[in-house]
A and B are shown apart, each in its own frame.
Chain A
């Protein structure tokens, strides 16, 4: 059963598809309206990262840094030191990819109030190919102390995550996608940093119990997979974890204890990301068999977003197959 606040019709044919980066653009504009300390910085990707609306509305609070991501991170840190709330945006491959050390030292070690926006994360970047498909960004950000890591599932959640990040004191990384992502939640759906939520509850009359833990853009695939599993007689639930760090340990432990096995789903390497985080935590408090869906130690390649998601086994079919393996 779906959580009550989701879109009424979630069938693949009916669901609307909107890029999560659009939600960032809207959220940033709102955050800028609410608080004049909010500043946006961008590395020659203003339209693509959806920083453009803010830049037009508040030109005096927008800084074009040029193609210089190392500078982007540290200039952001300097602005935060003066009490500003900088949102620094680029493609995830370049920030926090190329500028990881600057993010670590000048932002996180200083505990600077900087918000990192990594657009074009995941293989769903599509035709641009592997050089532009960040599939390591969750791993390299969540390993840094002080850093909060969020992968919003859809456009509404991206907007809310942006607004929540503006209010939160400290470094935050928000991961965004390029292509249209199924809109699962509504403007009214709750979002709190650090909170996971069960978005699909299993039929308790079914004997087998598999839990799917998902982050980011693959939420819809996970929900469709759970529905399909149930129609095949396997009880399946979906725990939606938009915040990877801090991990909602309580929700995760309860969810694990309510199932026989788990499947983690993310558009990211299966090491170091959500799957890694879930396995690390549960191995010490509630050991359970875990199958991880995601990129298995390979780079992406060119192709259409849906083709790539299917090719790398992150589509509904791939998630169902992983669940069958453990149920």
Chain B
């Protein structure tokens, strides 16, 4: 397991804050897209791309890279922003999100942008693809040190295909597969507990032969430790249920499912009027950044 110093944790927190600001800016410019999931997952994406993954932004097709499959494609603003800040493409290109001719499609298109492992959007198929990748790798090299990370939403777990993939991964004891669930408790139509209850979720995963951990998805040190433990599980695939706060970082957007599919400027107005949403979100994030004492890691 990789140890993070306090200084490194602070640097990752600062980077996550920068990525959140990019998310607000690109969504505002696009005028459509999802806000809650990307903000909520910014800490985890930052940890993965700046701490965990074996990857090379200058050589996206490097054969030995770990693979990160984003299954819930609608949170791609956080993936795009993280890839850009990691050096896959210019940060300025984030402003082309969802525009005609852009490589940053509304939902990820693998053939369009370096750094994407799959196309996604229709929910539930990313885990199957990660399972296929992990199985193919094991056929080639049973001692491979590559890991296959699959990020899913929690609403996405309504999809039957997820459970088909879990069955196969469990049967195959795919120890190179690490699934991370964004357990923010919301989906488009409301709270997950109302739309389609998932609990007891940990027990469900365990019954499919997965090693299960539940972690605060905003605690970078705890997430890092959980990923380290998942990597060390020898005989099973792993899942980390990352408890996150929808729209984390912008308190006036947090925990509200109505921010699932709306960009700043088009969200619910009970806490901030539409014309002020982008400006307020950026101001909140900038003031938060000011409280983080760290060297920039980029």
Contact = CB atoms under 8 A, between A and B. Distances in A.
B136 A74 contact: no
A264 B220 CA distance: 64
B164 A83 contact: no
Contacts of B137: 82
A77 B160 CA distance: 18
Given A39-B136, A63-B135, A70-B164, A75 B128 contact: yes
A78 B131 CA distance: 7
A81 B125 CA distance: 14
A71 interface: yes
A205 B233 CA distance: 78
Nearest to B146: A82
B132 A70 contact: no
Interface string A81-125: 111101000000000000001100110011100000000000000
A84 B138 CA distance: 12
A110 to B, nearest CB: 5
A102 B125 CA distance: 7
A75 B160 contact: no
A110 B110 contact: yes
Helix, strand, loop or mixed for chain A's interface? Answer: helix
A74 B129 contact: yes
A82 B133 contact: yes
A110 B111 contact: yes
B136 A84 contact: yes
Contacts of A195: none
13 contacts: A39-B139, A68-B164, A71-B168, A74-B126, A77-B129, A78-B69, A78-B134, A79-B136, A81-B67, A81-B117, A106-B125, A106-B128, A109-B110
3 nearest A-B pairs in the assembled complex, by CB-CB distance = A78-B132, A74-B128, A71-B164
Contact of B131 (A75, A84, A101, A105): A75
B73 to A, nearest CB: 9
A263 to B, nearest CB: 39
Interface string A243-273: 0000000000000000000000000000000
Nearest to B107: A105
Given A78-B69, A82-B132, A110-B110, 19 more contacts: A65-B168, A70-B128, A70-B164, A71-B128, A73-B125, A73-B128, A75-B165, A77-B118, A77-B128, A78-B134, A78-B135, A79-B136, A80-B132, A81-B129, A81-B133, A82-B137, A105-B121, A105-B125, A111-B111
Contacts of B111: 109-111
A127 interface: no
A106 B130 CA distance: 11
Interface string B226-264: 000000000000000000000000000000000000000
Interface residues of A, number: 29
A111 to B, nearest CB: 6
Interface string B107-127: 001110000011111101110
Task: Give the interface centre of A82, A102, A109, A111 by most chain B CB atoms within 10 Å.
Answer: A82
Contact of B122 (A68, A77, A79, A105): A105
B130 A78 contact: yes
Nearest to A81: B133
A78 B133 contact: yes
A83 B67 CA distance: 14
Given A68-B168, A74-B128, A105 B133 contact: no
Nearest to A105: B122
B157 interface: no
Given A70-B164, A74-B161, A79 B119 contact: no
B72 to A, nearest CB: 13
